[in-house]
Amino acid sequence: MARLWPVLKSRISYLAAAALLLMFALMAIFGPMLYPHGIPQGSQFYAPPSWRYPLGTDYAGASVLAEIIVGSRYVLFVAALAACFTMAIGVIVGLASGYVGGLTDTVLMRVTDFILTIPTYPLLIVIAAVVKISGPIPMAILLSINGWGGMARAVRSMVLSLKRRDFVEAARSLELGNGHIVGRQILPLIMPYVIMHLILAVTSSIYGEVGLFFLGLVPIQGTNWGVMLNFAFSASGAIYVPSSVFYLMAPVGAIVLVQIGSVTFTKALDEVFNPQISAL
């Protein structure tokens, strides 16, 4: 952590990315509190931006900025939860597969290959159509259902190479126990990689999540960015009205900003964890 600040300071884009992510996090945590009486309603539909409605109003005259802010909590909370699930499954499967080896390895890797082969979106869509998804936790579980394969493979190959290092051999000859070796010797060396990919996993969870809401495949509760896109296409027909530009582009812009922030911040983390790479 102490090395993070100098790296962030070294480039303005890193600082901007960190600020952007921080802003979205704060927005998700405190944003809904800004609107205790619900989303402000104006009388004009698709009003252009003004002081009262900085991003204009939607098809019913509601403030678009307020919808984005209120909607961020569900989107980001579920995506963060899904990313944690994805990473946890990936790390556990990868550790078990690489460290235990043998039959466990074969079975786990076959399952991983199978998961990696099934195309993500059709799988999410079919499951969402059959199982009633309600609430953030089932949604997060659904989103993490086949994202962990790549992580499991990467962790496995790292464990395989770490297992043969001198310090692990030494720990083993001291009979420190498997729990100690995995938890204290191997896991800390994998963590930087996991943290970097955690942020990228959040963005890919956002895509799946917003996509499912977009197609209207999960029950709609309140507003969020995917619901806004869905309404733009179906209920309100905003997509076919040129004056709806701010309503339509607001969720698109929010998602793209999260994406840019995540990619750039991950690059900064990469420099922190692997200083030799940044020299290239």
∠ CA 30-34-39, nearest 5°, is 120
Q: Which of 127, 154, 176, 187 binds another protein (CB under 8 A)?
A: 127
Name 27's Cβ contacts closer than 8 Å, sequence gap at least 6. Answer: 69, 72, 76
Maximum CA extent, the chain: 75
Question: 35 vs 59, which CB is nearer to another protein?
Answer: 59
x/- track of binding to another protein for residues 182-211 (CB under 8 A): ---------------------x---x--xx
Among 88, 260, 270, 273, binds another protein (CB under 8 A): 260
Is residue 120 close enough to count as binding another protein by CB under 8 A?
Answer: yes
Of the candidate residues 37, 102, 103, 117, the single one contacting another protein (CB under 8 A) = 117
The residue among 34 and 263 lying less far from another protein, judged by its C-beta, is: 263
Tell me the CB-side half-sphere exposure of residue 268, using CA atoms within 13 A: 26
Is residue 160 involved in binding another protein (CB under 8 A)? no
Q: Rule CB under 8 A: is residue 151 a binding residue for another protein?
A: no
- Residue 141 binds to another protein (criterion: CB under 8 A): no
Site membership for another protein, residue 256 (CB under 8 A): yes
**Contacting range for another protein; rule: CB under 8 A; set: 30-38, 61-69, 98-106, 238-246:** 238-246
Minimum separation from the CB atom of position 130 to another protein (A): 5
Residue type, 174: L
Residue 276 is a binding residue for another protein (CB under 8 A): no
Q: How many CB atoms lie within 10 A of CB 45?
A: 18
Please state the closest distance from residue 98 (CB atom) to another protein, in A. 20
Contacts of 37 by beta carbon, 8 Å cutoff, 6+ apart = none
C-alpha dihedral sign at 117, 120, 124, 130: negative
Tell me which residue has tokens 């909370």.
77
33 or 256: whose CB is closer to another protein? 256
Please name the residues in contact with 144: beta carbons below 8 A apart, sequence gap of 6 or more: 82, 83, 85, 86, 89, 205
φ and ψ of 41, to 5 deg:
-110, 130
Q: Does 123 bind another protein (CB under 8 A)?
A: yes
d(CA 165, CA 186): 10
| Contact positions vs another protein (CB under 8 A) | 113-114, 117-123, 125-132, 203, 207, 210-211, 214-217, 229, 232-233, 239-242, 245, 248-249, 252, 255-256, 259-260, 263
